[in-house]
Structure 1
Amino acid sequence: MGTDVVPIGNHTIKFSDRGFHEIADEIIERLRSVRYNAYSQEINFNYQYEDEYYSFQEDTCIYIIGKDYNDQLFRIEEFKVRYCIGFRYHHWCVPSTQEAVEARNRWRMYLGQVERALGGDRVIYLADNAHHLEKFAELEIPFPEIEAELLNTYGLPCVSLEEAYEKGYAQGGYQGGYFIDYFH
């Protein structure tokens, strides 16, 4: 069992006083401009329809899936976006080959496009599976409050993913490495 990277982003989608279909349709419309790679590969976004297992009223989030392959791509909650990208934390922060660096850079470009389409401007790379950053990934609070919790707990963010990883696994224990990506 490994540790996955858990990107959490911000957005400006209004949830209050709106129904599921109104919010979901706005999200899909905003995502029309997003492309996965340099070849302008279009992604056919869709949302998970409500059924006996999923209810917007109970879950208070909208799951966005790739229409062509039914994988959950991300979950939009009222105050944040949680992405599902399928990278291990170590391989995301410290890619071992040039090909891995290029794959990470393509994903960062894609995440930046989605963030801008949803009105956001940054992503925090957290982790799961008993990693020190997992508690922040699981917080049910707005994105700015997660940032504030990280700042209060660990100080300023690192300037690179590599630095965040090094601080996270430094000799002598965890020293608070985390990275906020502004996609510059």
Structure 2
Amino acid sequence: MARFFNTINDQHTAFIGKQKMFFVATAPISKEGHVNLSPKGLDSFQVLSPNKVAYLDIVGSGNETSAHLLENGRITFMFCAFEGAPNILRLYGRGYTVLPGDKEWDELSSYFNLPLAVRQIIVADIYEVSTSCGFGVPIYDYVGERDHARKWAENKGPAGLETYKQEKNLQSLDGLPTALAVKK
């Protein structure tokens, strides 16, 4: 049975800290638009306070989260226990994108090890937390992190990454602008 909370408590924070992967969901306002659900890893998530979280976002083939947040701010995070006791934790919030050079960048980036491929930090103010059983989530063994993103970024280099972001990360699949496009 699901339980609901107004804040992220110490037990939630401890659970989040043990997870090697989480999921981010956003959607545009348009009912015809693409709902985005992305897996994330690389020790990139931080609980900043009982009602604020952030994750470090690296350059990728799309930038749906930033576009959806710019349009409507809605975001949901989900953490699943793939080992130990079954559990699912969801964080519901209103988010925004922080880019290098923004006034919050220096403070927020200090929470992370910044890889070459860093694109932005996604921040969310959390208004509701829910937990549920997770009985249907299979058990997996964590083997390690993939090094593909690091190698890809090193191969591109800083200038190549900037070019890639300009080519691939300025709008969503539905043509919505991202924070990168607005800042441009």
Q: TM-score range by the shorter chain?
A: under 0.3
TM-score by length of 1: 0.27
Q: Which has the higher helix share?
A: 1
As a proportion of its length, which structure holds more strand? 2
